[in-house]
Amino acid sequence: MRRAVYRRARCEDEGRLYEIRRRSVLELAPPEMPVAEAQAWARRLTPAGMEQKLRELEVWVAELEGMAVGWGAIRGDRLEGLYVSTEFAGQGVGGGLLDRLEGLMRERGLLSVHLEASSNAGGFYLRRGYRVSGLPTPRGAWPMVKEHPS
């Protein structure tokens, strides 16, 4: 596992973070997710939408040797997105970023973390202590929760 550095995202990260998300969805979600579904998911975020996320969410970047290789976003006790650069998938970047974001929430006194797992990523979250907390959304994402150990 490579050791990433975590930092808050800046406005100038917009293009890189947009591209990390787009490619990760198109290239990592299949084959667990049908290609057409991944394409529709990738299209849901525009560059303007990415700019809005940077303004409205708390976005954190994982860097390896000064290069952004993944990002995750939180709002309150919700994880609002987690994406890893395809070239660095399977090297612990996503798990490390998730640990970091969970840690921030725990430090803030939040008792649990909520998210909606896309169909391809359910197993990734289940292996990290999340459980399904409701029925799937109309887009097929699974509501999940993880309670912090007290």
Ligand X SMILES: CC(C)(COP(=O)(O)OP(=O)(O)OC[C@H]1O[C@@H](n2cnc3c(N)ncnc32)[C@H](O)[C@@H]1OP(=O)(O)O)[C@@H](O)C(=O)NCCC(=O)NCCS
Positions that interact with ligand X (CB under 6 A): 24-25, 28-29, 82-84, 89-95, 117-118, 120-121, 124, 127
Which of 137, 75, 68 has its CA nearest to residue 105?
Answer: 75
CA distance 123 to 102: 18
Helices (H), 44-92: 47-56
Nearer to ligand X, 122 or 148 (CB): 122
Length of the chain counted residue by residue? 150
Report, in Å, the least distance between residue 29 CB and ligand X. 5
Cβ atoms within 10 Å, residue 106 = 14
35-43 helix and 14-28 helix, angle to the nearest 10 degrees: 170
Nearer to ligand X, 82 or 105 (CB): 82
Report, in Å, the least distance between residue 76 CB and ligand X. 17
CA distance 145 to 132: 7
Nearer to ligand X, 91 or 112 (CB): 91
Report, in Å, the least distance between residue 150 CB and ligand X. 25
Report, in Å, the least distance between residue 54 CB and ligand X. 18
Nearer to ligand X, 109 or 138 (CB): 138
